[in-house]
Amino acid sequence: MVFKTIWIITLLAILLCDLASAQTFPEFKKQIQSEENNIKRIRLLKKATSSLGQYSLSQQAEYWFLLGKGLNKQHQMVAAYNAFTKAINIYIKQDLPPSSLIVNLLIERARVVANIDHYNTSSCKDREQALYLARELSQLSLIAKSIAYYAKCLQSEEHGISKSLQLFEEAFNIAKTEQLNFAIKQIIFNQAASLYFRALIYDKAYEYNKLAYDSFIATKDVNGVYHSILNAVHYSIALVDIALAWQHLNELERFAKQNPEFNDAKLKFYYLSAKAAQLEKNWPLSISFLKAAMKESQNSQNISYTQATYELLSISYFRVGEIKNSYQILSALEKIYPNKKPIKKEVLLIKALMTNKPVEIVKSALKLIDKEKQSKNNFVKQSTTQSAQLFDDKLKQLDNIILEQQLTIIMISTFFIVASLVGFSYLQIQRKKLALKKNQLTDELLNKKNQLLADVSHELSTPLTVLKLQVESLKDGLENDVQVTYDALDNKLDEVQHLIDDIHQLAQSDVGALQLNIESFELNETLNTWQSELSNFVNRSKLSFEIERNLPEKLLVNFDRDRIKQVFTNLLSNSVKYTSKPGKIKLTANLKGQTLLLSMEDSKPGVSEDDLSEIFERLYRIESSRSRETGGSGLGLAICKSLIEAHNGRIYAQHSSLGGIKIIIELPLFSQ
């Protein structure tokens, strides 16, 4: 009985001690924040895991956020990702209302994902959702922060630089009315540097990265300093400033020694040192750095750098003629990441060589890739300079924002200054209108240049590469039948010439230089003339051809007769290429009011609903039996569209009752 009483008293004492030691979440959070040592902070957080049940759901989410931040500082990125995900899942599963915490959780998880694997697109989904929630909360500083992170994701899309500029314009407008803290300014500087780097304007990227670096130093943000040093190395290498690159690499090496908790810093130092050595054509030094990087990759969770290290080492071995070592490195990489898409294009060619393709052909292809990269870099840099200058002006205003705000408060104290401010505002409005107009014109020019670049680089690279390889084969005496090779070269040159003619015609249309020879002619008579020629063209391909007309006699029209025939020929060529044999093609001509309706349709195969709305886009090819294997430039329907629109007409596609595609043309009719 005495023993039982003692046991009850002891149990009550333990229970009372637990109740006395229990902390409210604000008290616990204050304790965590007061602990300056990050490792001890993580220990305190992990120790409290078993007591989470006493806190509300939103407090539990904040707990995982604090733990994730601490783990990320220690570069335990996978563990940090898991902590952020647990917090986000609490919001999702419990349907908690939006708050600044969920916005910051999404941003931090996206940053961790990008650090683990640069090519993982899920980080952009998180950043997009963060911006959406920030707008819903109407918290301006949070919107500016979310914009700076999300704008980076847009840059890989078509017209992404222009979209990023528009978003940053919103962030700058927020900064003019809100006093942003150092952290958000650092984010904007950092993301601005990234934007310039992607636009291939490396000197500006380096300049704004330096602003971010100085700000991180001022606030003693070690993680920010680390990433700024990494960026400085990248931008120096891109500038081909070897001395500057080694200067920042030495800085990175010192940082890695002083901060061992950054366990991937040595990996990145060795990898980037190898790239700098390659700029000096010092392949043995580059290989020694990459070997050291491979050893360090075992201590890192960074997938992108690990993969890039293996690939660059394989390429380096190949460059110095150590083919066997090159193959072994790629085989080892395949075991680590069996289904990972290569980061570097050269790896695809070395893999092709592993399947017994000639060494000299692959080396020639590597040289061609180097030349293509340089040409593309120069072209894109010229195309984006003017647009980026507008962005540059906005960024330079950012450091003066606080001073302008204080000056405004002083100025409004007198009527005279108020009047001056009104005049100043008027001038600003006029300048903004002018800048907006200039931005629109720049955007239009950039879009056209980008489109031309896409057309040329996408379609010329393949035939030119084939030509290069065939010429190299002839030169090295690798071809058994020289005449067959000459015939193949001649055919490939015809393809290139046809592609150039198509691109030239589209370029004329883009700039309004497409000339039409409008004349009056009798439509029925012209269709009779064309029918025999078009029928013979189709019948040679084992397809039947039918023209169905319901037109008034002696119908006079005003068109460019040759251009309309070119449209018919292009449409027939498409149908002949893609229609299964035996099959049928049908041309129909009707009159509806003052509009001439023409249609060209064929039998199966058909296409999906989504493809119908896209087939007139340049270089669009349908991923089905109507495929790229049939050849062609991919510009035929785009040319048809430009010619019909030049006649003030309309062209579009529908499903055909014959089983294939029906192209419909509407032309305004001007009778005489």
Residue 288 has pLDDT above 60, yes or no: yes
More confident residue, 667 or 164: 667
Beta carbons within 8 Å of 612's beta carbon, 6+ residues apart: 653, 654, 655, 661
Average pLDDT over residues 380-397: 52
Report phi then psi at 104, rounded to 5: -70, -35
Average pLDDT over residues 584-606: 86
pLDDT tens-digit series, residues 134-183: 899 988 888 888 887 887 777 666 556 667 767 777 777 776 677 777 77
Q: Give dist(CA 564, CA 521) in Å, integer.
A: 12
| DSSP notation for 163-183 | HHHHHHHHHHHHHHHS---HH
Task: Please state, in angstroms and rounded to a whole number, the distance separating the CA atoms of residues 619 and 454.
Answer: 9
Mean pLDDT of 17-26: 61
Share of the chain above pLDDT 70, in %: 67
**Confidence class for position 563, pLDDT limits 50, 70, 90:** confident
Residues 454, 328: Cα–Cα separation, whole Å:
36
How far from chain centre, in Å, is Cα 320?
A: 33
pLDDT higher at 498 or 218? 218
- Overall pTM surpassing 0.85 (yes/no): no
Cis? peptide before 605, omega within 30° of 0: yes
* Residues whose CB falls within 8 Å of the CB of residue 24, separated by 6 or more in sequence, listed in order: none
Please name the residues in contact with 214: beta carbons below 8 A apart, sequence gap of 6 or more: none
Residues forming beta bridges with residue 534, ordered by sequence position = none
Q: What is the pLDDT of residues 256-273, one digit of tens each?
A: 899 888 888 888 899 899
Q: What span, in angstroms and rounded, lies between the C-alpha atoms of 348 and 194?
A: 28
Res. 242: pLDDT tops 50: yes
**Hunting for tokens 């040759």 — which residue is that?**
562
pLDDT at 105: 92
Q: What pLDDT, on the 0 to 100 scale, is given for residue 64? A: 93
pLDDT at 341: 79
Per the model's pLDDT, the better-predicted residue between 413 and 438 turns out to be 438
pLDDT band at 4 (very low <50, low <70, confident <90, very high): low
pLDDT in tens, 109-137: 988 888 787 667 778 889 889 889 989 99
pLDDT over 90, % of the chain: 7
pLDDT value at 384 more than 60: no
Which has the closest alpha carbon to 218: 230, 203, 233, 228? Answer: 228
Average pLDDT over residues 575-586: 83
Determine the pLDDT at residue 471. Answer: 61
pLDDT tops 80 at residue 664: yes
* Residue positions counted in the chain: 672
Residue 391: its pLDDT value, please? 55
pLDDT value of position 317 = 86
Structure tokens at 576: 């002949």
pLDDT at 109: 92
